[in-house]
Amino acid sequence: MRRDKFQAEKTTDLERLLMSVLAIARSLRALGSAAGLTPTELTILVRIAQHEQQRAADVASAAGLNRTLVSRVLAGMEEKGLIARATDPDDRRASRLTITRAGRELLAGIRARQAEWLADRIGRLPADDVSRLLAAVPALAALAEANEAAAGQ
């Protein structure tokens, strides 16, 4: 089915999916804020955890954030002991980013609280809805991976 036909036929479903995903994402981000991170810090910390040794410019580009903002946020995260910078051996003007032990522990705690929150919400659904939701996980994961791949280009 062509994309434009799909969109025309499924507009209501797409809008419901979008609003649902955004509402869930807001709730999950709030758990990061409760741990003392801004949404931007959480985005950057996750990105560095997934792709260690990236440059700040790469993190900014992949996250869709302004380089100047990312630079300021990284300075604060470094001050908090969540990330470390090392001089890039290929370009001494740049640095490579890694997540520290404290950063990993904080992120693990946030992820655990997010998983607990999600499991609680899913546990409140009727069994048929849970089955349909779990059946959709591979498609949602593929969509997220395709998005991640596109962002990395």
Give the pLDDT of residue 77. Answer: 96
pLDDT at residue 153, rounded to an integer: 46
Q: Over the stretch 135-144, which tens digit does the pLDDT of each residue have?
A: 999 999 998 8
Pick from 98, 82, 102: which is nearest to 41 by CA? 82
Average pLDDT, stretch 36-65? 90
> 95-117 pLDDT, tens per residue?
899 999 999 999 999 999 999 99
Report CA-CA distances (Å) from 107 to 8, 49, 58, 93, 119. 40, 9, 20, 29, 18
Q: Can you give the pTM of this predicted structure? A: 0.80
> What domains can you pick out in the chain, each with its CATH number?
21-151 (1.10.10.10)
Q: Measuring CA to CA, how many Å separate 54 from each of 44, 140, 150? A: 11, 26, 17
